[in-house]
Chains A and B, each alone.
Chain A
Amino acid sequence: GESVGLHLPTLSVQEGDNSIINCAYSNSASDYFIWYKQESGKGPQFIIDIRSNMDKRQGQRVTVLLNKTVKHLSLQIAATQPGDSAVYFCAERYGNNRLAFGKGNQVVVIP
């Protein structure tokens, strides 16, 4: 089927290395941020979230960093595995849990 990753910025990473995916958000009033992973032909899968009163949050093999000064969000994946190959989206919350999504970054893991 048609890939959601078409024409997206692509990060190629060697298996076992760490990956860093970056996202710039637009609204300085946004108070909640989420990272999603989307594999081809599937819906986005929740990875990790962070509130604006935090600057770092860790999950299993993932860390999200938030820099409100420059409106920047990053997702770090430790020891990248082939199953991490996907499109990664950031989203920022505005209004009543309405989310604005970035266009996404394609991650390709090289075995």
Chain B
Amino acid sequence: DGGITQSPKYLFRKEGQNVTLSCEQNLNHDAMYWYRQDPGQGLRLIYYSQIVNDFQKGDIAEGYSVSREKKESFPLTVTSAQKNPTAFYLCASSISAGENQPQHFGDGTRLSIL
């Protein structure tokens, strides 16, 4: 089945630790996105990538980093500089960034602090 796979579903981070969230898509989409969702809030954009080897900061990029070495993969690292990392993280992809196309989402990773 084509889709977006996020792993792990649940992740725990210790103080001062970096953790990496995985996002893989087999939809052959050029554009990929990372969002953060907090209870009762809309989704907020962390980083996005329009094409392989390119990415841009979103609205809340501080304390996060990404890479886009392969078209199908867009991992997100939550660094120790992110002081409030507890949230539900959602990855999305779309056919391209420049057209009116919906973004399709994975089922998220819930990150908590130990």
Contacts from A to B (Cβ < 8 Å): 1-8, 31-32, 34, 36, 41-46, 49, 51, 89, 93, 96-104
In this complex, which of B42, B104, B106 has the most chain A Cβ atoms within 10 angstroms of its Cβ?
B42
CB nearest to B37 among chain A residues: A4
CB nearest to B108 among chain A residues: A43
**Interface majority SS (helix, strand, loop, mixed), chain A:** loop
**Interface majority SS (helix, strand, loop, mixed), chain B:** loop
Asked if B107 contacts A43 (CB within 8 A), the reply is yes
Asked if B103 contacts A99 (CB within 8 A), the reply is yes
**How many whole Å from A82's CB to the nearest CB in chain B?**
21
In the assembled complex, the Cα of A99 lies from the Cα of B90 at a distance in Å of: 13
In the assembled complex, the Cα of A3 lies from the Cα of B108 at a distance in Å of: 13
Asked if B108 contacts A6 (CB within 8 A), the reply is no
| Residues of the A chain whose Cβ atoms lie less than 8 Å from the Cβ of B50 | 96
Of B31, B96, B97, B102, which is within 8 A of A34 by CB? B102
| Residues of the A chain whose Cβ atoms lie less than 8 Å from the Cβ of B90 | 43-44
**How many whole Å from A25's CB to the nearest CB in chain B?**
12
In this complex, which of B31, B41, B98 has the most chain A Cβ atoms within 10 angstroms of its Cβ?
B41
Q: Is B2 at the interface (CB under 8 A from chain A)? A: no
Asked if B108 contacts A8 (CB within 8 A), the reply is no
| Residues of the A chain whose Cβ atoms lie less than 8 Å from the Cβ of B108 | 41-43
CB nearest to A6 among chain B residues: B39
